[in-house]
Structure 1
Amino acid sequence: MPELRVGERQWSVAAGSNLLDALNQAGVAVPYSCRAGSCHACLVHCVEGLPSDSRPDALSDDQRQRGWRLACQCQVVEDLRVETYDPLRDGAPAEVVGVDWLSATVLRLRLQPERNLRYQAGQHLVLWTASGVARPYSLASLPGEDRFLEFHLDCRQPGEFSDAARQLKPGDGLRLGELRGGALHYDPDWQTRPLWLLAAGTGLAPLFGILREALRQDHQGDIRVIHLAHDVSEHYLAKPLAALAASRANLSVELLTATELPAALAQLRLVSRQTQALLCGHPDSVDAFARRLYLAGLPRNQLLADVFLPRG
């Protein structure tokens, strides 16, 4: 049986064991969120030996050469010595500069990093609390315009990170983990094409940044924003979206609730097969949007999606 070592601790595990499970079951606290290789909360550093990796494409060549792996995607197949991600050593410091409620369930968190962070609209970061709780969150801010990093936290359900975030106040510190680029971004080559941004819940966060990036680059095609919320009160960016739509003739905004979604999807029609669609939110909502768009004739390579996977 392979031996797994962390610090001074060493124990045997069954060959083929999932590395994340083997560590957590032994009391080595490694955070995780999606277990799908997307959030990167479970980064570990392999010091000696290497695990079998089912998602080698999830990390850059440089990260892999330096021994970083995503524990949720790895199996222990030989003796292995790892170091867990230490936010104090490996992360970047940031100060809380704003915490306020955009709705009854959406908490807006604004952070000022100690060092300038180069990022693009649509990317996400792993945030670490002082107590070592880590979660990935999409950036809602726009680089070059906003002087802070903005995140929209869905607090409908209790959670370790959201519970801790409720207690934050300006001046508190957090640590920033790895900056990740998901599928969502704005491409200047899309400038004359219809652009559809379809979001569910706080899936609106990265699309809000992408929308403003498109407007900053003077997007010429029609832009359609659809936001799906549990009820009317949860259209938490209704006012800023309305203000943007009032200033741009090519921008339309539609706010839907869950009960209105089936009828709205049934009426969804493409005005151009050149339409570029970006989707974000809960997997069920993203899947419903995507299936309707494909049925309407949207080519699959013109749909980009990020899903907010429930913690499992």
Structure 2
Amino acid sequence: MPQLSVAGQQFEVALGSNLLDALKVSGIAVPSSCRAGSCLVCQVRCVAGELQDAQPQALPAERYAEGWRLACQCRVAGDAEVEVFDPARAGMLATVVGHDWLTPDVLRLRLLPERALRYQAGQHVQLCASPELLRPYSLASLPDEDRWLEFHVQCRTQGAFSQFARQLQQGSTLRLGALQGGSLHYDAEWQSRPLLLLASGTGLAPLYGVLREALRQGHAAPICLCHVAHDAQGHYLRQELLALAVEHPQLRLEFIVAAELPAFLAQFRLVERSSIALVCAHPARVEAFAKSLYLAGLPRTQVFADVFVSANEQGE
């Protein structure tokens, strides 16, 4: 049977066994969430040996080259040595400087890291409640402008991390895990091309940062931001977005409740075929957006999407 080495300990595991399951059965604390390769929480670093990886494209190429793997997507193919991410050792300490409710279901969390975090609008970072409870959250803040890191936590469902976040207060501390690139960003070469920013729920967070980055860089072509919410109260950044639209006439806003989405997608038309679309939503909604964009004539290479998994699907 293959030997699995972790933190100086060795375990025999069955050939072909799922790495995440093998680690947990062996008593190794590994954070996990969706088990589908979407949340990127269960990253471990393979320092020796071989793992059979079902989703090598899930991580950025440079991180993959460093040996990082998603434990939930790997099977043990032989003797291997892995390192588990330890937030107490490798994570950055951050202090809560803002804890307020944008709606009864959406918590705005502002964190001040112990040292500057270099990031781009649209990226996401792991928030660590404990060694086994890590969750990736998109940054809604704007680098080099906001002094804090801003996150929007959906608390409608009773997830383990949302319960933890509810109990935080000014001055509380937690650790930041790995910063992830994601698919959402703003490219200065897009300045003359229309932008479509499509989000549902707190998928608005990274697109709010990308929108502000585009406007900061002087994007003059039309921008349409569409936010889908469970109900009208769920448009939690409505006032901030309306204020931006007053300042920037090229910005058009669409606030849609979920029941209206099919009709909106049915009549959707492109401003130009050169448009760039950025999408952040639940997988099913990302698929609905992508299908409508394709039918409207937008090439798939011009659609950039990040998906998020709800707390219920994460098994919290």
- TM-score normalised by structure 2 residue count: 0.93
> Residue 288 of structure 2 corresponds to which residue in structure 1?
288
CA distance in 1, matches of 2:224, 2:210: 12
Between 52-61 and 252-261, the greater mean CA deviation after superposition: 52-61
CA distance in 1, matches of 2:43, 2:91: 12
**Paired residue secondary structure (1:79):** strand
How far the C-alpha of 1:172 sits from its partner, in A, is: 1.2
> Residue 177 of structure 1 corresponds to which residue in structure 2?
177
> Residue 129 of structure 2 corresponds to which residue in structure 1?
129
Which runs of structure 2 are paired with 1:20-31 in the superposition (5 Å)?
Answer: 20-31=20-31
> Residue 15 of structure 1 corresponds to which residue in structure 2?
15
CA distance in 2, matches of 1:67, 1:301: 28
> Residue 77 of structure 2 corresponds to which residue in structure 1?
77
How far the C-alpha of 1:283 sits from its partner, in A, is: 1.0
CA RMSD of aligned residues (A): 1.8
> Residue 225 of structure 1 corresponds to which residue in structure 2?
225
AA at the equivalent of 1:191: Q
> Residue 161 of structure 1 corresponds to which residue in structure 2?
161
> Residue 188 of structure 1 corresponds to which residue in structure 2?
188
How far the C-alpha of 1:40 sits from its partner, in A, is: 2.9
Whether contact under 8 Å (2:38, 2:308) holds in the other structure is no
AA at the equivalent of 2:194: P
CA distance in 2, matches of 1:153, 1:142: 17
> Residue 142 of structure 2 corresponds to which residue in structure 1?
142
Once the two structures are aligned, what percentage of the paired residues are identical? 60
**Paired residue secondary structure (1:170):** coil
AA at the equivalent of 1:72: C
CA distance in 1, matches of 2:262, 2:60: 40
How far the C-alpha of 1:29 sits from its partner, in A, is: 2.3
Is 1:40–2:40 an aligned residue pair?
Answer: yes
| Residues 243 and 63 of structure 1: CA distance in aligned 2, closer, same or farther (over 3 Å) | closer
Q: How many residues align?
A: 312
CA distance in 2, matches of 1:30, 1:145: 35
Whether contact under 8 Å (2:55, 2:73) holds in the other structure is yes
Superposed CA deviations along residues 11-68 of structure 1, whole A, max 9, x for unmatched, are 3222111101211233322112333444332122334433223334444666556543
| Residues 171 and 65 of structure 1: CA distance in aligned 2, closer, same or farther (over 3 Å) | same
CA distance in 2, matches of 1:293, 1:242: 25
| Residues 267 and 68 of structure 1: CA distance in aligned 2, closer, same or farther (over 3 Å) | closer
CA distance in 2, matches of 1:190, 1:6: 46
CA distance in 2, matches of 1:66, 1:281: 29
> Residue 116 of structure 1 corresponds to which residue in structure 2?
116
Whether contact under 8 Å (2:46, 2:69) holds in the other structure is yes
Whether contact under 8 Å (1:33, 1:136) holds in the other structure is no
Which runs of structure 2 are paired with 1:205-220 in the superposition (5 Å)?
Answer: 205-220=205-220
| Residues 210 and 63 of structure 1: CA distance in aligned 2, closer, same or farther (over 3 Å) | closer
Is 1:94–2:73 an aligned residue pair?
Answer: no
CA distance in 1, matches of 2:79, 2:176: 31
How far the C-alpha of 1:79 sits from its partner, in A, is: 2.1
CA distance in 2, matches of 1:66, 1:228: 38
Is 1:272–2:272 an aligned residue pair?
Answer: yes
How far the C-alpha of 1:271 sits from its partner, in A, is: 2.0
- TM-score normalised by structure 1 residue count: 0.94
AA at the equivalent of 1:252: R
AA at the equivalent of 2:281: G
Unaligned segments of structure 1, at least 5 residues: none
AA at the equivalent of 1:241: L
**Paired residue secondary structure (2:284):** helix
**Paired residue secondary structure (1:294):** helix
